[in-house]
Structure 1
């Protein structure tokens, strides 16, 4: 449910969140809001359980009804910065952006400035009244491609709902290690890595995560795949492809050391060694317009570094074919 000037949400507690603290369950159900904001809403009575006010530490049970009805407030204290944006589409509700690799989406420790949020505050100052300055989903710093930000509360509510109900379509280009023979689906829960804090991993206690991938182009020892997400977990494609032993080329966290297949030319060796980010690009985004209900879709081409990489992989296949004669 959306309202022009209220932040509203309604959830039924699922089995995996039963017996969790209310603030923890709320954070899982509404990741677009900060933990401290959710705790304030619980304390103020804006967020209730079965119509009753509770404390943040109170436990919730299966099928409890969590309701949120809160006043919007100025959400951010970040600085607006004049950072150029590659805008694919915009209207009063939506801002669709082609994010370059290297741009951090959200201010955090070590990245207080120079982020997409700082750029949004400069370009569309009205986002300061929205949760997380209108950001409803993220791309990793070194992932390029298309993403959407909300410019209105109506849009924010609608986009969050579309993400939660998995009706927002997102497709990615990725280049992985290994020559795949066909597409497949990876259905494996993702959570924090048990030992390495900066990494995610496939763990039994993780959140459900589903990635579908299909072949776009196969090379001698690498494959260009197209990935579609059913869920939006942190590092999902990177973790899932590494899990099936086909990590993304250049991935500093999940790729392991550079593996060069037999017969690698000097040219390809240099191209692979020079590609020092995960070879991942958000190519397509499909969503329902929050006001008109129209289904909209946008596509952005791969950036130059990925196109150069694919060109080098194609040339390697040609070189191998020529050597065979």
Structure 2
């Protein structure tokens, strides 16, 4: 079993005063599961002001957390020759444009053919980095940009930027229904109480804080193209938040965005909508401070072909039917 580790340090914000240490860690280090963080607290790999404490220890705010993140290889990480669309590369980081259908990590039901397997083939040295350098995820059927750490110093920096909300992630989404204007959704997200596959709006402390800002880019007769910017990175965050405001993503059957055809839809739009079998979500822009030197790295990825084709069909349908106030911004 290969193991690699990186030491992460962060000061607990005073807003967390009175909360349990394990709960605070789950919010400061969202890329690690609660069970793994609790294990590190118990093993002494997560210290509070240099001391080992119980997971239930209440914090005051202002304490220093030192976390030795040990990544144990849970499934065989076999390199595989899978093509990668690399949008930025240097000795410390990679930025990948992930295609639709590519799973990020091996696991139950997906033992191979993942982004992690592809990365290990491209750079065998990633076997020494926690999670082969992957510091955040995209769902299998979400396309777009992901940053990968190629060194332990880069991994430490990128995880800290994520936990401190300093990494800027921008998405494009196509949602059901005509939106009047943009706004923000500030609603905590946690595991659905009855359906373990889904996430849901769940009150704290079971739910973790989640904030999504969105603005209208283009309106169609029965759909809206929106830009979404994340303050937090919870599982399925945009999908859950858009469904919460009754604008689920097109193609997202898990959260209520199943097939709905606009009245008098053109044959072309009907065909494209019937063929679109995924959530209409694309991670289009990623911006972060380079782990070495701190320069700003900003990368963009164009709209993928299937989503671009759907947008074109919606525009054509709107033009033919002439019913939308098409306030195009892009």
- Asked if these proteins are the same fold (TM beyond 0.5), I'd say yes
1:170 equivalent in structure 2: 169
What's the offset of the Cα at 1:25? 5.0
2:233 equivalent in structure 1: 232
Q: Secondary structure at the match of 2:255?
A: coil
Q: Deviation string for 1:243-269 (max 9, x for gaps)?
A: 111111111211344222222223222
1:213 equivalent in structure 2: 214
Superposed counterparts of 1:283-322, under 5 Å = 283-321=284-322
Distance 1:73 1:256, change over 3 A: closer
CA contact (8 A) 1:188 1:210 kept: yes
What's the offset of the Cα at 1:6? 4.9
Distance 2:196 2:14 in 1: 27
1:9 equivalent in structure 2: 9
Q: Secondary structure at the match of 1:253?
A: helix
Distance 1:19 1:257, change over 3 A: same
Distance 2:97 2:134 in 1: 14
Q: How many residues align?
A: 315
Distance 1:175 1:69 in 2: 39
1:68 aligns with 2:75: no
Q: Secondary structure at the match of 1:227?
A: strand
CA contact (8 A) 1:47 1:69 kept: yes
1:115 equivalent in structure 2: 114
1:51 equivalent in structure 2: 50
Unaligned runs of 5+ in 1: none
Distance 1:218 1:48, change over 3 A: same
Superposed counterparts of 1:1-325, under 5 Å = 6-12=6-12, 18=18, 20=20, 25-33=24-32, 38=37, 41-54=40-53, 58-63=55-60, 65=63, 67-68=65-66, 70=68, 75=73, 77-205=76-204, 206-321=207-322
Distance 1:235 1:73, change over 3 A: closer
CA contact (8 A) 1:33 1:131 kept: no
Distance 1:256 1:225, change over 3 A: closer
TM-score of the superposition, structure 1-length normalised? Answer: 0.88
Distance 1:190 1:39 in 2: 20
Distance 1:281 1:32, change over 3 A: same
The two structures, once aligned, show a CA RMSD in angstroms of: 2.5
Distance 1:290 1:251 in 2: 35
Distance 1:192 1:274 in 2: 30
What's the offset of the Cα at 1:201? 1.1
Q: Secondary structure at the match of 1:195?
A: coil
CA contact (8 A) 1:74 1:129 kept: no
Deviates more, 1:307-316 or 1:255-264: 255-264
Q: Secondary structure at the match of 2:322?
A: helix
Q: Secondary structure at the match of 1:146?
A: strand
What's the offset of the Cα at 1:37? 5.5
Deviates more, 1:186-195 or 1:141-150: 186-195
What's the offset of the Cα at 1:75? 4.8
CA contact (8 A) 1:287 1:296 kept: yes
Unaligned runs of 5+ in 2: 324-330
CA contact (8 A) 1:10 1:67 kept: yes
What's the offset of the Cα at 1:106? 1.2
Distance 2:239 2:227 in 1: 13
Distance 1:23 1:160, change over 3 A: same
TM-score of the superposition, structure 2-length normalised? Answer: 0.87
CA contact (8 A) 1:32 1:131 kept: no
What's the offset of the Cα at 1:319? 1.4
Distance 1:132 1:88, change over 3 A: same
